[in-house]
Amino acid sequence: MPENMIQAEGLVKIYKSKETEVLALQGLDLTVEEGELTAIIGNSGSGKSTFLNMIGGLDRPSAGSLMVGGKNLFTMTEKQLVLYKRNTVGFVWQNNGRNLLPFLTVLENVMMPMSISGAKKKREKAIQLLEMVGMASKKRSRMNMLSGGEQQRVAIAIALANSPKLLLADEPTGSVDVNTANYIFDVFTELNKGGQTILIVTHDVALSKKVRRVVAIRDGKISSERVLKEAYADRLKETNIDWRQEDTQEEYSIVDKAGRVQIPADLLQEMKLKGNKVRVAIEDGKVIISTPEQTPQAEKEIENKKK
């Protein structure tokens, strides 16, 4: 059985200033197993980037628990956190400037993390990684000689330099064209087939529809999950599928440990709810949520009258 790579329970993050407090995460629960390729989606301010930064060791939680690769991020010292960021997680940023050193060649950039960690056979491994992302032919080039998509592929190789248990990608296709985005996703897919655990934050609709598991964060909590339909699972590389338009995934609402569930925003709008109260009932094995003015029984009577 796969072990848990990420185990977040009741995760809370509060940002404080002199005048205000912002609750970025409000009791988030999420488990990601080893070997999963998972995407996180959500509107700006939903908490997804905060969560990614915590997993990457760039920010500390305010409350709850967070285990990554068997390590407790709450109890780490600063020295342990440096080693964690060096050896457990690899980061691919949307802004290539955070990954790349412009005064070094492509090969030197990939070798740099290995030099810091004292790894052996740096050159051989760096070339292997560049071959994996299709950039071995550009190993002597400097960054200003590469396109944005080529730089992003080099960034992936750099993130993998120290063989991290977990690869984190923050909007990896956000600044490239469609063809390059597809190529980058194919690289992630091949890495995942080799057992690499990958967590992606993305706004890319087409990319998110190709991922086997998509987690939606809303108001600092997990609101729903989408799972790729079996009919599409083996068709990821087919070019005749319009991933932006086709309904490729099943969506599920998430019940948290306190028994709470978020009603999708579009359904709330359709309900035309006034106030914050709803009726909840079970009918024929189904949970029915209705407005206080209209109970499930009342709805049935209205339907019968219409007939």
227 and 243 housed in the same domain: yes
Q: Determine, yes or no, domain membership for 83.
A: yes
Task: Report if residue 25 sits inside a domain.
Answer: no
Token representation of residue 43: 């509107």
pLDDT of residue 128: 93
Provide the pLDDT confidence category of residue 114 given band limits of 50, 70 and 90: confident
Cα separation, 291 vs 275, whole angstroms? 10
Which pair of tokens denotes residue 279?
Answer: 């009726």
pLDDT, averaged across the chain: 87
- Domain membership of residue 300 (yes or no) is yes
Q: Identify whether 279 is part of a domain.
A: yes
Q: Quick one: pLDDT at residue 69?
A: 92
Q: What is the pLDDT of residue 167?
A: 96
- Identify whether residues 221 and 112 lie together within a single domain: yes
E strand residue ranges, the chain: 4-16, 21-33, 37-41, 63-68, 71-72, 89-92, 166-170, 197-201, 213-218, 221-228, 249-253, 279-283, 286-290
> Are residues 276 and 224 part of one domain?
no
C-beta separation of 145 from 68 below 8 A: no
* Residue 1 domain-assigned (yes or no): no
68-83 pLDDT per residue, tens = 999 999 889 999 999 9
- Give residue 301's pLDDT band: very low, low, confident or very high (50, 70, 90): low
d(CA 294, CA 279): 8
Q: How far apart are the first and last CA of the chain?
A: 53
Distance CA 131, CA 13 (A): 40
- Give the count of beta carbons closer than 10 Å to the beta carbon of residue 78: 6
pLDDT at residue 56, as a whole number: 92
Full residue range of the structural domain in which residue 301 is found = 271-306
pLDDT band at 298 (very low <50, low <70, confident <90, very high): low
Structure tokens that stand for 66 in this block: 């967070």
pLDDT tens per residue across span 17-73: 878 888 898 889 999 999 999 999 988 888 898 999 999 999 888 899 999 999 999
**d(C-alpha 130, C-alpha 139), whole Å:** 8
Beta pairing partners, 223 = none
* 140 within some domain: yes
Residue 281 contacts residue 296 (beta carbons within 8 Å): yes
Query: The domain that contains 146 carries what CATH number?
Result: 3.40.50.300
Does 69 fall in a domain?
no
Gap between the Cα atoms of 138 and 150, Å rounded:
9
What pLDDT is stored for residue 1 in this prediction? 62
Do residues 157 and 213 share a domain?
A: yes
Q: How many residues does the chain have?
A: 307
- Say whether pLDDT at 245 is over 90: no
- Considering the domain architecture, whether residues 255 and 287 belong to the same structural domain is answered as no
Instruction: Identify whether the C-beta of residue 121 lies closer than 8 Å to the C-beta of residue 88.
Output: no
Please indicate, yes or no, whether residues 144 and 174 belong to a single structural domain of this protein: yes
The C-alpha angle 185, 208, 160, rounded to 5 degrees, equals 35
298 and 224 within one domain: no
- 184 and 300 belong to one structural domain: no
Same-domain check for residues 40 and 103: yes
Which of 69, 27, 73, 71 minimizes the C-alpha distance to 47?
Answer: 27
pLDDT (0 to 100) of residue 173: 86
Do both 174 and 278 map to the same domain?
A: no
Split into its structural domains, the chain has a count of: 2
Mean pLDDT over 224-241 rounds to 86
Identify the pLDDT of residue 192.
Answer: 93
**259 plus 112 within the same structural domain:** yes
Cα dist. 181→20, 204, 213 in Å? 39, 9, 18
Does residue 21 form part of some domain?
A: no
Strand order in the sheet with 63-68: 21-33, 4-16, 63-68, 71-72
Say if residues 93 and 84 touch (Cβ distance below 8 Å). no
| Domain shared by 224 and 284, yes or no | no
Phi and psi (nearest 5°) for 18?
Answer: -65, -30
| DSSP classification of residue 238 | -
